[in-house]
Chain A
Amino acid sequence: NAGVTQTPKFRVLKTGQSMTLLCAQDMNHEYMYWYRQDPGMGLRLIHYSVGEGTTAKGEVPDGYNVSRLKKQNFLLGLESAAPSQTSVYFCASSLQLNYGYTFGSGTRLTVV
């Protein structure tokens, strides 16, 4: 049972480039989330999904887009990367809204 798998684990982008971060879960969870973690700050919600085909904005959605075409996958896209998007990105999933999350191992993204 893999849980939540994120790819890639590391990436360096140039300003203006685009990329997609992939999150896959094998627990049949309805809810999926993308958070970013920056030094000195708590984890902050970027986007989330309450089920297949649904997405919604979180606290810091600007510059990101998401898609959830299949229940097990949640994709995070950066259309035009900026240095302010340098961060560690975590995907998470949960069975119910008020259950504990299962997090992936993270993607460390550097935008130069």
Chain B
Amino acid sequence: EDQVTQSPEALRLQEGESSSLNCSYTVSGLRGLFWYRQDPGKGPEFLFTLYSAGEEKEKERLKATLTKKESFLHITAPKPEDSATYLCAVQDSGGSNYKLTFGKGTLLTVNP
């Protein structure tokens, strides 16, 4: 069974203080790993898809990386508007490839 574990559950940063969020996963075969951002009361917003180990993608202050067992979302010099819950999800390349398995998320708070 596919599993996704995100850590930490919550992270509080000062504006400009860089850090990383972790997503550890277990799948029989990885079709894709997805990062989403979710603001309170809203639906998740797609950020990145990573397909193979060693792949990296960037968007503004965010950079996602992927290994065979985990993914990191690096946040450089965060701003208060980066505060949100960040969700990681995996898609299996096997029989259950129709769905994403989501982690519980990391709640990021960036203080000014």
User: Which positions in A face B, CB cutoff 8 Å?
Assistant: 4, 33, 40-45, 48, 50, 56, 58-59, 90, 92, 97-106
- B49 touching A99 by the CB < 8 A rule? yes
In the A-B complex, list the 3 residue pairs whose CB atoms are closest, starting with the nearest.
A103-B43, A42-B102, A100-B46
* Complex Cα spacing A73 to B43, Å: 18
Binary contact track B32-66/A, C-beta < 8 Å → 1, others 0:
10101000011111111101000000000000000
Also in contact, A41 and B104, with CB within 8 A (given A99-B49, A105-B43, A106-B43): yes
- Once A and B bind, how many residue pairs between them come within 8 Å at the CB atom? 65
Also in contact, A104 and B43, with CB within 8 A (given A41-B104, A98-B31): yes
* Complex Cα spacing A104 to B99, Å: 17
Q: A48-B98, A97-B31, A100-B36 are in contact. List 4 more A-B contacts (CB 8 A).
A: A100-B34, A101-B46, A103-B46, A104-B43
